[in-house]
Every structure is written in structure tokens, then in C-alpha cells.
Amino acid sequence: MHTRKITFDNASGHQLAALLDMPAEGEPVAYVLFAHCFTCSKDYKGVVRISKALAAQGFGVLRFDFTGLGESEGDFAETTFSSNVDDLVAAAEFMGGELEAPKVLVGHSLGGAAAILAAHRISSVVAVATLAAPANLNILAGRLRSQTGDLEGTGEAVVVIGGRSIRIGKDLVDDLETVNMREAVSRMGKALLICHSPADRTVDIESAVEIFSAAQHPKSFLSVGDADHLCSNPEDGRYIGTMLATWATRAISPS
């Protein structure tokens, strides 16, 4: 397989950085758009391994940094969950114009929730896969508020996510509290694969149960054993990517 750097503009005019993982030979079976987890980047090891495993199975995969993260332009403190969804739509539009419109969305953690919301707006997508996605964004909003003593007064605050300090805005927390994930899942109208580990200590396995319950058929569930939230074990990432490829192949070309 081979990888090349790409940039594209989002709706706000910020240049977003991306990497395109492609099969070693021939045209891709289909294109996949990958959304990374909250405050992460396209270069997190779990994301890279899953993406490369998909490419090894014949898929083209675009993974990018959301606004203000990784190598992308913009101020993360000015972003919201809704702007993340907008970034996904912008990425899909870029792919449709320069490559081929994505048929599959893959989202990790909060990126999985964003993928579910974005799927409504990307007509080319026929299948969505989530990995360790939360079913209730109010829980994340509550955790963020618990770290921000004067968020209401200042409009911004520094929180600690995964051991890293990062500045967030009040609009992000407010926006998370408006999202009805159950409704979004139930009306998505795409094939859905929910990947989750019973050992996840960041997003409980009950989130997978709630999402699966809300989803319409066709829907599938993949238990990823004792994988941690970031899929830091190399074998977990490769396993998830390989299984995603098998599922996606059937989802986009049902027999």
C-alpha cells in the first residue's frame, strides 16, 4: 500500500490536513472516510493501523485532522461537535470532487458519533462503522463541565483529556448537550457496524448496547475483546481493520 498527503478546505476556509492510504495495486474497492476520536489526530497509532489494514484489503482510506488539531488550521477552542460534522461533510465533498465519493464512514469514539450525524448529509455513504462511540453526548459534556469552573463566565477553559491539556470553548459543551444520538441513529438509514470492547474504561460497553438498540437493520456488532479505548495494541487495530473490510465489502455490494 502507499500513502500520500492531502489538504482540503472546510466550510470556514481552514485548510485541513489529511492522509490517503491506498492499496498497493489497482483501483480501490471503494473509498472510506475516517473520523478520529475527540482531541486526537489522524496519526494516532490505532487510527493508522485500522486505516492501513483497510487499505491492505483493497480500500482507499482518507483520514484527516479536524479543525485545530494535528496539522490542520484553525483554533480548536472555537470548534464544536457540529463543526466536526461539517468537517466530515467537507472531506466527503472533497473526495467526491477529487477522488471518488466515500461509500463508508468510520468513526472512532466521538468521531463515531460525528459519523452518524454526518451520514445523513452524505448521499454516497451506504455504510457506517463506529468504534467505541458514545451513545449519550451529555455524559461527555458533564465531564468537561466538571473540569471548567468558570466556563460560563470566560467562554473558554483548559481541560485535561488523556493526560493532555487542551483549551475548549463553551459552545462545544453547549452543542454536545443538544445532540440526540438515539434519534440520529434510528433515522440514519445506512448499514451500521458497532465495534466496541467490553474492557473499554472510557466509553462503557453499554453505549454499544444503546446504539444497537436504536439502530434499524441492517446492523451488526463486533466485540473487540480486551482492546482499550484507543486500540493501542497493534493486533487490535489490524484485527478491527480487517473485519471492517470484510463487513464493508458485503455492505456496499450485498448479495
Q: Where are the alpha helices (DSSP H) in 126-254?
A: 137-146, 151-154, 170-176, 181-186, 206-214, 234-252
Q: What does the domain layout of the chain look like in residue ranges?
A: 2-136+180-252
* Residue 158, pLDDT score: 84
On the question of pLDDT at 53 being above 80, the answer is: yes
On the question of pLDDT at 193 being above 70, the answer is: yes
| 174-201 average pLDDT score | 97
Q: Where are the alpha helices (DSSP H) in the chain?
A: 45-56, 81-98, 110-119, 137-146, 151-154, 170-176, 181-186, 206-214, 234-252
Q: What's the one-letter identity of residue 94?
A: F
**Whole-prediction pTM:** 0.96
Query: Please, which pLDDT band fits residue 150 given cuts at 50, 70 and 90?
Result: low
CA 74 to CA 185: how far, in whole Å? 29
Contact criterion met (CB below 8 Å) for 193 and 130? yes
On the question of pLDDT at 255 being above 70, the answer is: no
How many CA atoms are closer than 13 Å to the CA of 3, on its beta-carbon side? 18
On the question of pLDDT at 88 being above 70, the answer is: yes
Q: In this structure, how many other beta carbons lie within 10 angstroms of the beta carbon of residue 232? A: 13
Q: In this structure, how many other beta carbons lie within 10 angstroms of the beta carbon of residue 146? A: 9
| 35-49 average pLDDT score | 96
For 108-136, the pLDDT digits (tens) are 999 999 999 999 999 999 999 999 999 99
On the question of pLDDT at 62 being above 90, the answer is: yes
Domain 2-136+180-252 is found in CATH 3.40.50.261: no
| 53-76 average pLDDT score | 98
Query: Please, which pLDDT band fits residue 156 given cuts at 50, 70 and 90?
Result: confident
Residues 6+ away with beta carbon under 8 Å from 142: none
Q: What's the one-letter identity of residue 33?
A: L
Give percent above pLDDT 70 in the chain. 99
Query: Please, which pLDDT band fits residue 152 given cuts at 50, 70 and 90?
Result: confident
Count Cβ atoms within 10 A of the Cβ of residue 114 and give its class: 0-12 exposed, 13-18 middle, 19 or more buried.
buried
Q: What's the one-letter identity of residue 252?
A: I
* Residue 148, pLDDT score: 78
Per residue, the 3-state secondary structure of 173-197, as one string, reads HHHHCCCCHHHHHHCCCCEEEEEEC
Query: Please, which pLDDT band fits residue 34 given cuts at 50, 70 and 90?
Result: very high
Helix/strand number for the chain, H first, E second: 9, 10
| 58-68 average pLDDT score | 98
